[in-house]
Amino acid sequence: MDKLRITGGRPLNGEVTISGAKNAALPELCATLLTAEPVTLTNVPRLRDVATMRLLLDNMGVQSETHGERGGMSFQAPDSLKPEAPYELVKTMRASVLVLGPLLARFGRARVSLPGGCAIGSRPVDQHIKGMQAMGAEILVEHGYMVAQLPAGKTRLHGARIATDMITVTGTENFLMAAALAEGETLLENAAQEPEITDLAEMLIAMGAKIEGHGTSRIHIQGVDCLRGCTHQVVADRIEAGTFLCAVAATGGDVILRHARAEHLDAVIDKLHDAGAEIEAGDDFIRVRASGRLKAQSFRTTEYPGFPTDMQAQFMALNCIATGSSKVTETIFENRFMHVNELVRLGAKIQTDGKVAVVEGTDKLSGAIVMATDLRASASLVIAGLVAEGETIVDRIYHLDRGYDQMEAKLRGIGADIERIK
Ligand SMILES: CC(=O)N[C@H]1[C@@H](OP(=O)(O)OP(=O)(O)OC[C@H]2O[C@@H](n3ccc(=O)[nH]c3=O)[C@H](O)[C@@H]2O)O[C@H](CO)[C@@H](O)[C@@H]1O
Ligand SMILES: C=C(OP(=O)(O)O)C(=O)O
């Protein structure tokens, strides 16, 4: 099993190119199921989750190929494909549930394994099921699978008003894709507003979908009879960019992130600014400069445009070596403090009580062997390792590989002493 060996204490300087967003690429790969015409995505990040999603599509009968250096991939989903997502593939990646909407909308049936819980929380998919039922699907949950079909005599889903009990990102994406091909109008209330939703909506519009209001909490979709192929560029990964911003804020240095979108990171950038980092941004770049210990910042995770839960662990790592104490409140997932005990092994002072972690900043961390428990927890341990005195080994980095495109190579490129070992 791969590990990362990091020798801490080096500032980061130079330039990093930010990859396409995992959380946009995954639904967009699923959106290729909505048409028999070829669809090309560019700027697709090289991630384990993308490879898993491609395998899942391949297993159904989708033809795909990669081309070019800059993450180009083409897909063609024939009318004859098998609308099924087996447990063996779904268990490794929750985003597999995103095939449900497109399969139902185009093929009128789907058999998709329930994803099950994961380290950060139980993550049920009840809202996805309720929404598809509101659009006319009959869904049974049996033997660990969602078995979905249209009622006898029906060939398409129908539009509906869907108001979810909570804001759900992949739920909104599933409804968008299903409604794009449904008969009539769909109104999504309480929709997620993440930039990845907007990016997916823009791809669907390029395929011929009629969507208005994406990027707000009310999205209107007028279903169309069929969608066509398109070429779409995956939006920049705001979480990868935020992770590098926190890394530089923690180690000190001066780094320019290329292909990064500052407007998608307002909540994180505001906190970094308050902490004492200098941030400058243009259309397609973010520059961060920091030196010495920054000031700890309290924050609370919320849905976009609030502070993202996917940045909580990385910012907490920064708070661990900042001056002063901070209160970190996680409101989205019930078990997203798994990095705390590992950060403590590196010398951090953190106490948790339910949704709240109180961090007492300390002037140094010391390298140790730590274990990654989930994707962003892994990133927080890497940041802490870059600061810690001596050597840190981060074990189980398959979590990191799910969602970061060549993280250690990018960090080495800006001066980090980091290597992958077996
Ligand atoms: C592939 C992808 O885009 N993943 C992101 C997506 O996950 P994901 O879409 O799975 O997260 P959701 O927005 O759906 O989850 C928000 C909350 O709603 C709950 N919930 C959700 C759906 C449902 O049917 N029932 C239910 O109870 C979840 O357990 C969670 O507590 O948004 C999360 C929140 O920003 C991010 O951390 C993930 O990186
Ligand atoms: C939780 C995350 O992803 P996923 O929903 O794919 O598990 C994440 O990207 O931090």
Helix (H, G, I), strand (E, B) or coil at 402: helix
CB 255 within 8 A of CB 287: yes
Q: Is the pLDDT of residue 12 over 90?
A: yes
Q: Is the pLDDT of residue 396 over 80?
A: yes
221 plus 258 within the same structural domain: no
User: For the chain, how big is the Rg over CA atoms in Å?
Assistant: 21
- The average confidence (pLDDT) of the chain is 97
Which amino acid is located at 343 in the chain?
A: L
Q: Which pLDDT score is estimated for 267?
A: 98
314 plus 407 within the same structural domain: yes
254 plus 289 within the same structural domain: yes
Ligand 2 mean position, distance from CA 411 (Å): 21
92 plus 227 within the same structural domain: yes
Q: Is the pLDDT of residue 162 over 90?
A: yes
Binding residues for phosphoenolpyruvate: 22-23
Atom of ligand 2 nearest to the CA of 403: 9
% of the chain at pLDDT higher than 90:
97
376, 380, 400, 407, best to mutate for ligand 2 pocket (most atoms within 8 Å of CB): 376
- Give nearest CA residue, ligand 1 atom 28: 123
50 plus 173 within the same structural domain: yes
Atom of ligand 1 nearest to the CA of 239: 39
Q: Is the pLDDT of residue 117 over 80?
A: no
Please state the rounded mean pLDDT for residues 277-304.
Answer: 97
Ligand 2 mean position, distance from CA 385 (Å): 22
Tell me, letter by letter, the H, E, C secondary structure of 25-87. HHHHHHHHHHCCCCEEEECCCCCHHHHHHHHHHHHHCCEEEEECCCCEEEEECCCCCCCEECH
* pLDDT, tens digit (0-9, with 9 covering 90-100), for 43-86: 999 999 999 999 999 999 999 999 977 899 999 999 999 999 99
Q: Ligand 1 pocket, 307 CB below 6 A? A: no
Report the interhelical angle of 100-107 vs 22-31 (nearest 10°): 20
326 plus 378 within the same structural domain: yes
40 plus 99 within the same structural domain: yes
> Which of 233, 251, 266 is the last residue before a domain boundary?
233
Please state the rounded mean pLDDT for residues 144-148.
Answer: 97
Q: Is the pLDDT of residue 146 over 80?
A: yes
* pLDDT, tens digit (0-9, with 9 covering 90-100), for 220-257: 999 999 999 999 999 999 999 999 999 999 999 999 99
- Give nearest CA residue, ligand 2 atom 8: 310
Domain with residue 317: its CATH number is 3.65.10.10
39 plus 120 within the same structural domain: yes
Ligand 2 mean position, distance from CA 46 (Å): 16
Indicate the pLDDT class of residue 375, thresholds 50, 70 and 90.
very high
Q: Choosing from 30, 118, 246, 320, which is the catalytic residue?
A: 118
Q: Which pLDDT score is estimated for 68?
A: 79
Q: Ligand 1 pocket, 126 CB below 6 A? A: yes
64 plus 198 within the same structural domain: yes
% of the chain at pLDDT higher than 70:
100
Instruction: Report cis status (omega within 30 of 0) of the bond before 27.
Output: no
366 plus 249 within the same structural domain: yes
Segments of 120-218 assigned E as strands: 138-142, 145-149, 161-163, 185-189, 210-212
Q: Is 230 a catalytic residue?
A: no
Its ipTM equals 0.99
Indicate the pLDDT class of residue 182, thresholds 50, 70 and 90.
very high
295 forms bridges with which residues in the sheet? Answer: 323
Q: Ligand 2 pocket, 399 CB below 6 A? A: no
> Which of 233, 250, 266 is the last residue before a domain boundary?
233
Query: What predicted TM-score, i.e. pTM, was given to this entire model?
Result: 0.98
Please state the rounded mean pLDDT for residues 248-267.
Answer: 98
Overall number of domains in the chain? 2
Binding residues: 22-23, 94, 123-127, 310, 332
Q: Which pLDDT score is estimated for 100?
A: 98
Ligand 1 mean position, distance from CA 339 (Å): 19
- How is residue 78 written in tokens? 């024939």
Domain hosting residue 377, numbered range: 3-15+237-421
66 plus 180 within the same structural domain: yes
275 plus 169 within the same structural domain: no
> Which of 233, 266, 290 is the last residue before a domain boundary?
233
Stated length of the chain: 422
Atom of ligand 2 nearest to the CA of 309: 10
Q: Is the pLDDT of residue 116 over 80?
A: no
CB 217 within 8 A of CB 48: no
Residue that has been written with the tokens 């011929």 in this structure: 208
Encode burial over 153-186: b for 16+ CB neighbours within 10 A, e otherwise.
eeebbbbbebebeebbbbbbbbbbbbbbbbbeeb
Atom of ligand 1 nearest to the CA of 22: 1
